[in-house]
Structure 1
């Protein structure tokens, strides 16, 4: 009851199925967001300002979130690292953000009500479900919000008891391999820090934990600009894996010696060509066919819809800071 009075929230095993949950810092950050979000509308006082919050929202800064993400030595996580983790949650559609990052950011947890609702609050679970679970454990259920309709309730009830004892067994084995798990997390963090020290320009961009794929902030900006242009050709184009797109833009820039402007100009030409518009739908496709595209562009084939006028990049947000 004390947990309920202070605003508890269920946690779900489905979280463990997500690839990002293997990162202990990402999982802890997600837990902290859930636990600190408003259970009901109220006005929060933060950094000398009043913030009207709705259910599922919290106001904070990346630096403050980092203070609650410490390593074994008590060293808090940097705000830049927290920003990158929040970017992951935002790309996954788990949160949205608004406000100024250092003065206060309002984080909204998507579908918070589904997380916060107790099982005995659900209409389909009232009555028989609570009664049977009470009989099985001699106490009422504050369960974890089972998914599914009423037709599946009986099957779910049967699964509750073994799941409970399975969790109890897991708790009895807390000390098994705990040190090896810590060492694994430390090694992963060390690898990331080593990568960032070698490529500091990746800090404000995007990268995989191993550093295998990455791009600078400008590479990511160009990748997003390319995506918007391709949506004009194919409105149903799925949102890309941004780290891979930014990585390809970076390779074209550093390995192939193309500028961001050259990359985007050729992409625009291809998207306006009668043949290439349906064949070049990513930076990797552009890179693969660069020589062919450049040759055909120079010849200005008759079936091309591309305009001969030079591109005007002056009014595009992505170009800021990229062009001489």
Structure 2
């Protein structure tokens, strides 16, 4: 087993996989032992990329042995294969047979790790804390007019943007809440705040309202993403990854998004 550490998000506790003990153990074991190094590693003449793990089903059976009533027990090979097939179907991993065992690839490995996102936040905090003494002095010498302008330009002091109930952004926010509520018990949010994030997803990220609407329907119906997309922020953050999966699934199956038959968003006009 590889030594070292890896990182995962607390969102795992809200994911449907958390309730399936056997599937969760198998996935977390593969994910936790996958190659972390960006340059990958070479094992038995096979180059493993970041997020890949080479292991036989028989070895997995031994790896996942557990203690029950003072006796070691193992999952059957049939159970392990069945759970891995489910993980493949759910888009969590893909598998490939080799002469040395099965090559597991953890899909969305970078998203699970999330190091770049956290490093970005840390670097921004570091830059904000590195102001020089002269800069601090200049800030202290600003006149009353500049101080007043600074207060007016502070996002905390800006007037909150309110969206009309007929605004498409707010309709999408309400659609997202209702779609999430079908699978999760969540408190009713600040719909104006949600609508603003939806607006940024459309305007800043250059997406159409129809694309956002379709993604809401797809993500909240997906076995994995339904447990991740619990707000417009997580929808926006994972949009590219989900869109790639959704398009890949379309190309493979030839199916279009399922029509839910709901009239809650049929009149959005996208």
Structures share fold, TM-score greater than 0.5: no
- Structure 2 length normalisation: TM-score? 0.42
The structure whose Rg is larger is 1
- Structure 1 length normalisation: TM-score? 0.36
| Higher RCO (CA < 8 A, seq sep 6+) | 2
